[in-house]
Amino acid sequence: MHDYNKSVLIEGDLYPGIWVEGGPQQGLIVAPISEEIARSNHQVFFHHQSPDGQIPYAVKLVSYKPTIGQSDPNVPRVGRAQLQMVVPISATALDLAQYLSDDELLSEAYQAGSRWDDWLARYRNTRDTGLCEAFCEYDTGHDGSTRTASIPNACVDGDARVCPREPSSLP
């Protein structure tokens, strides 16, 4: 993995890397087979958490653009352009820490999850409802859903902090 020296379970050939929408949950599932991979499938995201608290949506093996199916040096290997969190990483980390009786992982996940919650509250609660808002289709991990038909596929300027100009269209 980019700037991470432990083994993780990657998505596969089409998406050479690990995505937060499923990687931590897949790690939890393989915990009985490999505790190291189970931990790493969470810790790779904590390792790449930005100073302001954002957890990346993906960490890639190469700069890869799935839409064209090839390497692209302009695509960052640590993805921050959207959320793409379907299963909350804090929930799977808690389950894993309990399964492994791992207080160190629990502490690490709590700190990372708290910083991530602060980021979401700061940038993804524009209406002050206390709810996390989707700014683009790719935030949800449900590409092609009719629920997201009225919003752009990608976040404005590839920045997950920027709300679309027409926020009334958000689901």
> What residues have CB less than 8 Å from 141, skipping those under 6 apart?
21, 84, 85, 86
pLDDT truncated to tens, each residue of the chain (171 aa)?
Answer: 778 899 999 887 777 889 999 999 999 999 999 999 999 999 999 999 999 999 999 998 866 555 555 556 656 689 999 999 888 999 999 999 999 999 999 999 999 999 999 999 999 999 899 999 889 888 987 778 888 888 888 898 999 999 887 766 666
Tell me, rounded to whole angstroms, the distance of Cα 165 from its chain centroid: 24
Q: Which is it for the CA torsion 57, 62, 68, 72, positive or negative? A: positive
> Comparing C-alpha atoms, which of 78, 79, 80, 112 is closest to residue 93?
112
> What ranges in 10-168 are assigned the alpha helix state H?
23-29, 35-47, 89-100, 103-123, 137-140
pLDDT tens-digit profile of 50-98? Answer: 999 999 999 988 665 555 555 566 566 899 999 998 889 999 999 999 9
